[in-house]
Every structure is written in C-alpha cells, then in structure tokens.
Amino acid sequence: MPHLHDDTIKELEEKANQIRESLVDELVTAGSGHSAGPLGMADIFTLLYFHVLNHDPRNPDWPDRDRLVLSNGHICPVQYATMAHAGYFPVKELKTLRKFGTRLQGHPHRTSLPGIETTSGPLGSGLSQAIGMAIAALMDDRKNYIYCLMSDAEHQAGQTWEAAMLAGKHKLWNLIAIMDRNNIQIDGFTENVMPLEPLRAKYEAFNWRVIDANGHDFAEMHSAIEEAKAVYEKPTMILAHTIPGKGVSYMERKFEWHGKPPKPDEAKAALAELRTLGGKIKSEHE
C-alpha cells in the first residue's frame, strides 16, 4: 500500500468533499435515502477507493481484487458516489438513485452494478458474508484482503457476534472490519437505545485485534489499516469514530438525519457550505 504523503492527503480531502457534494445532489434528486451516515463515511470510502483497495474499475471482476463488503447497505449513496468518482460508472448516473429500473437501488444489489460485492439490506449479515469471502480466499491461496464496513447499531443484532466468534476462531488475518462508530441510529443515540460498550473488550474477547481511529483523519485511518495488515494471527476491527452528517453543519451529530434526505432548500444550503469548505481545503494546501 503506497505511503500517504501530504500531497496525497490534500487530494483525498478534496475528493472526499466532491463526493459529499455528489451525495447531496443524488439524495435531493431521489427524494429519499439516508444522509447522516453517508456524509460521515465519505472520508473512509475515499481513502479506500482512491488509495487502499487493490481494484480496477475497468475490470471489476478481477479475481485478485480486494473485496469491499458494505454490511449497512442503507449508506450505499456514499459507495455509489465514490465508485462513480473512481470510474466505475458515469457521475451523472447518480441522479438515478432509487428511481424505477435504476442500477443504484436503495440498498446495494450485487448483480445490478459491477463492483458491488454483496446484496445487502438486513443489518447484521455483512460480517458473515465477508468471513465467507475471507475463508474462500485463504482456501484458494489468494493474498487479497476483505474489508467489511459496518455500522455500530447493527451490533445490536446477534448474528454479528456469532460471525465475530467464527472469524476469531479461524484467525482470519485477511479480514479487516471497519465500524462506523457514529453513535446514532434511526431513533436515537446507540447508548440510549441499546448500549454497545465496551466494544473493544468484546471484540478482543473473540480474538480480534482492535484499533481506534479518527474516521476523518486520513493519516490516522491509513496507519490503522497498515497496522491491521501487519497482524497475521487474527482479524482486525477498526473502530472508526466519525461525525454523522460530517461537512453539513445542520446535520452533524443529529440522529434525526439518519434516514432522511435534504429538501431542495436544505440541499442548496448544504452544497453552499461544502463548496466553501472545498475552497478552504484547496487554499490551505497551496
């Protein structure tokens, strides 16, 4: 994995901001969908698709590619926006999100869009799917990595912990899970709805390596992934601490934005804020 230079961080920050703008555009056009989680995960998706993943948008079925499994499929607008900017399909197609007959369903559909590894929707199943891929890769003697992106709230589902136990048993060093620890879900804060802590101790009890990282710090997230790749005796969970609604001030840390899109006037304000932020990012690095 290439080293993360300052110039690369600048490029990633600018790209993430562009992806957030695309996110707002696709959500307001769709008139439905999730806002807070996708905006909060834009930096992590940008880092993965533009620096970390071993993949080829021109050959999405390349056998030796890294796999990205999105367990919490409702945040797929950020995956779609990132994939479009990475060259999997035209950016203008983002306007078809959730439309009848679109390739960009409200939850990812594996056979509809090249580059999507799993069909997701029911929360809690993604880690099980990723574990199957990780075991298969080891059986085939492949050296690719399986990345499983998960929400924190889906850890309220029992299947997640059964999967975690299995991954620890098989010492799946090629499995790197990244939890979006944004502390919200559709009807409140996770620790009020169903407390999840202590997450670190729980995963360590199942024989996982656990790393805490700031999900908006490219260098810190990159370092966490490098550390995960240096572990050869167990899977790794990266607890990525993020701000839901990141980049749009009136959405940040508001669980009410978990499952709704901005209205046209709200989108206009969000885009103005993101464009101002984009200009600031550019000037700070010149």
CB atoms within 10 A of CB 177: 30
Percent of the chain with pLDDT over 70: 98
Question: What global pTM score does this model have?
Answer: 0.96
Q: Which value, to the nearest 10 degrees, does the dihedral of the CA atoms of residues 69, 116, 122, 249 take?
A: 80
pLDDT grade for 120, boundaries at 50, 70 and 90: confident
What pLDDT does 2 receive? 57
Phi, psi of 179 (to 5 degrees): -95, 130
125 close to 116: Cβ distance less than 8 angstroms: no
Please tell me the total count of domains within the chain.
1
CB 82 within 8 A of CB 18: no
Mean pLDDT of the chain: 95
**Residue 1 falls inside a structural domain:** no
Q: N- to C-terminal Cα distance for the chain?
A: 26
- 280 within a domain of the structure (yes/no): yes
pLDDT in tens, 147-185: 999 999 999 999 999 999 999 999 999 999 999 999 999
Taking Cα atoms as reference points, which of 94, 79, 83, 188 lies closest to residue 126? Answer: 79
* pLDDT above 80: residue 1: no
pLDDT in tens, 259-284: 999 999 999 999 999 999 888 887 77
| Host H or E run for residue 29 | helix 6-30
Q: CA 149 to CA 223: how far, in whole Å?
A: 17
Structural domain contains residue 85: yes
What per-residue confidence (pLDDT) applies to 279? 82
The phi, psi pair for 68, rounded to 5°, reads: -115, 115
| Residues 270 and 24: beta-carbon distance below 8 Å | yes
Split at pLDDT 50, 70, 90, the class of 26 is very high
Question: What is the average pLDDT across 42-63?
Answer: 97
Q: Is the pLDDT of residue 135 over 70?
A: yes
Smallest CA-to-CA distance from 31 within 134, 106, 119 is with 106
Residue 177 within a domain: yes
218-250 per-position pLDDT tens digit: 999 999 999 999 989 999 999 999 999 999 999
- CATH code for the domain of 145: 3.40.50.970
Q: 234 lies in which domain range? A: 6-284
Quote helix, strand, coil % in the chain, to nearest 5.
Answer: 50, 10, 40
Measured distance CA(230)–CA(169) in Å, rounded: 19
